[in-house]
Amino acid sequence: MAGPVVGVLALQGDVVEHLRALEANGTRALEVKTERQLAAADALIIPGGESTTVIKLLERFGLAAPITARVAAGMPLWGTCMGMIVAAHDVAGLAQPTLDLIDITVRRNAFGRQIASAEVALDIPVLGPAPFPAIFIRAPWIERAGLGVEVLATHEGHGVFVRQGHVMGTSFHPELTGDNRVHAYFARLVAEAQTGLVVRAS
Ligand code: GLN
């Protein structure tokens, strides 16, 4: 296989599911636990899990500063659920540290008990007309999106899929469905970052 290598941060969370979804699309995938593995990746996914735990582990493993530096230098990054919380500018109502990679404020566990865990047919125009089976698990929503942030999907009036240039976030878990369109979208974004071409809706 040729093409860019997408790393999946493997400190905690649903790592294997992302690796499988990438490989199912023909994208080269790599577990990232060390700075050396990060250096071998062209892009990074931060998966779902527990944001307070992962922020601590990122510091302990010495990965917070290198990830921030790579993203500032143009490395594409996608955070799913917990990963989006870690990438956010800040967390509403909490003094929780984040990496501040995308200009959004998120609210943790925002959808309440009734959709603490649910699959929703989500309209995502950039992925085409068929709704996306979006799985929400104690998901955050986007409470505020800065001017440079595109909101690519909303649910119950709140952003759940955002992109700011080469950084994107989803409240839901595309790696847990058989539908690989969000992974394919990210792979195109990665290709765009490498070639300078602009990603268009499919
Ligand atoms: N509720 C978790 C958190 O706030 C995120 C849940 C998830 O990633 N599925 O960190």
- Full-prediction pTM beyond 0.75? yes
| pLDDT at residue 160 in the model | 98
Q: What does the longest C-alpha to C-alpha distance in the chain come to?
A: 45
- Give residue 85's pLDDT band: very low, low, confident or very high (50, 70, 90): very high
Condensed to tens digits (0 to 9), the pLDDT of residues 135-156 reads 999 999 999 999 999 999 999 9
The residue among 4, 155, 160 whose CA lies nearest residue 79 is 160
Q: For ligand 1, atom 5, which residue shows the shortest CA distance?
A: 82
Alpha helices in 27-175 (DSSP H): 35-40, 51-60, 64-72, 82-87
E-strand ranges in 138-202 read: 141-145, 150-155, 158-164, 167-170
Query: Mean pLDDT in the chain?
Result: 93
- Percentage with pLDDT > 70 across the chain: 94
Q: Is residue 201 scored above 70 in pLDDT?
A: no
Ligand 1: nearest atom to the Cα of 48: 8
| pLDDT at residue 118 in the model | 85
Ligand 1 pocket list (CB less than 6 A): 48-51, 81-82, 85, 108-109, 137-138
- Give residue 197's pLDDT band: very low, low, confident or very high (50, 70, 90): low
| pLDDT at residue 191 in the model | 92
Ligand 1: nearest atom to the Cα of 51: 10
Q: Which contiguous run of DSSP H or E holds residue 20?
A: helix 15-24
- Report how far ligand 1's centroid is from the alpha carbon of 103 (Å): 19
Q: What is the CATH number of domain 5-195?
A: 3.40.50.880
Condensed to tens digits (0 to 9), the pLDDT of residues 153-166 reads 999 999 999 999 99
Q: For ligand 1, atom 1, which residue shows the shortest CA distance?
A: 138
- Give residue 202's pLDDT band: very low, low, confident or very high (50, 70, 90): very low
Alpha helices in 63-195 (DSSP H): 64-72, 82-87, 181-195
Ligand 1: nearest atom to the Cα of 80: 8
- Report how far ligand 1's centroid is from the alpha carbon of 172 (Å): 10
Mean pLDDT of 29-51: 97
| pLDDT at residue 115 in the model | 56
Q: Give the mutation target among 45, 46, 51 for probing the ligand 1 site: most ligand atoms within 8 A of CB.
A: 51
